[in-house]
């Protein structure tokens, strides 16, 4: 596997379910990100991790819980979601060494539908 | 706060023709980076081209080039010899050396007419 991978690609869940999204990067990067992409809205940054430490939580509701066990893996745990949380969730990574152009590499996304 | 504006929600171009997508941004920083990302219907966001603000020379990548006007805070993308595979959403984005967080525009949907 190369680049940034995300599983599952599609997820349908009820409002009372608990599920997790997984992201893995094979680029040797140290920073990882979760974005939410809804129709007709700019990409919304949700969380940033640098060297496994959360450096940003962009006022995300607590029903979204991130976890970064190491620099290669990032999870987004979901519980008690609302229909308006239906969106494409994108994971990205970047070098995270505070130098260079901070180019981010994206995964294919998980299309989440909350019923 | 930094903002990125893409004023063209949709654009279309005839195959083999040239099209220019607009992007403006607002920042008080003097050193920053600008990017164009492409998101085809398959959804994977791919970097098309990047520009360092300290470089006066416009970046080029094969059929893709930018017109970077720092004083005007403008960063347009030109696609030459448009191909069917260029059909996608195009996002302009910005960050700085001190903050890897990307600020995105709302995107431009590009349609290629055969």
Q: How sure is the predictor about B97, in pLDDT bands with cuts at 50, 70 and 90?
A: confident
CA atoms within 13 A on the CB side of A9: 6
pLDDT in tens, A52-89: 888 888 889 999 999 999 999 999 999 999 999 999 99
Mean pLDDT of chain B: 93
pLDDT of residue B17: 98
Alpha helix (H) ranges present in B5-54? none
Per-residue pLDDT averaged across B29-33, rounded? 90
Tell whether B64 lies on the interface with A, counting CB pairs under 8 A.
Answer: no
Residues of B in contact with A107 (CB under 8 A): 44
**Structure token pair of residue B85:** 């595979």
DSSP state of B58: P
List of E strands, chain B: 3-5, 10-14, 19-21, 24-26, 33-39, 46-52, 60-61, 64-69, 74-79, 88-96, 99-104, 108-113
Nearest to A102 among B44, B100, B104 (CB): B100
**DSSP single-letter state for residue B108:** E
Could you tell me if A108 lies within 8 Å of chain B, comparing CB atoms? yes
Q: Return the number of CB contacts < 8 Å for A and B.
A: 54
């Amino acid at each position: 596997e190369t680049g940034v991978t995300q599983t599952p690609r599609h997820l349908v869940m009820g409002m009372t379910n608990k599920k997790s999204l997984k992201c893995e990067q094979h680029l040797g990067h140290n920073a990882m990100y979760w974005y939410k992409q809804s129709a007709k809205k700019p990409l919304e940054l949700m969380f940033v991790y640098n060297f496994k430490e959360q450096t940003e939580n962009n006022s995300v509701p607590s029903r979204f819980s991130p976890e970064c066990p190491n620099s290669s893996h990032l999870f987004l745990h979901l519980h008690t979601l609302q229909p308006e949380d239906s969106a494409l969730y994108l994971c990205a990574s970047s070098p995270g060494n505070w130098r260079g152009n901070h180019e981010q590499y994206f995964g294919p996304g998980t299309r989440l539908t909350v019923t | 706060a930094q903002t990125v504006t893409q004023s063209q929600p949709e654009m279309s171009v005839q195959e083999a023709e040239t099209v220019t997508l607009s992007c403006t941004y607002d920042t008080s920083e003097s050193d920053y980076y600008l990017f164009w990302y492409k998101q085809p219907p398959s959804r994977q966001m791919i970097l098309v081209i990047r520009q360092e603000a300290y470089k006066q020379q416009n970046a080029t990548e094969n059929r893709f080039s930018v017109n970077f006007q720092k004083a005007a805070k403008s960063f347009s993308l030109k696609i030459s010899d448009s191909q069917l595979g260029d059909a996608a959403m195009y996002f302009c984005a910005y960050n700085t050396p001190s903050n890897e967080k990307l600020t995105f525009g709302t995107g431009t949907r590009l349609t290629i007419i055969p």
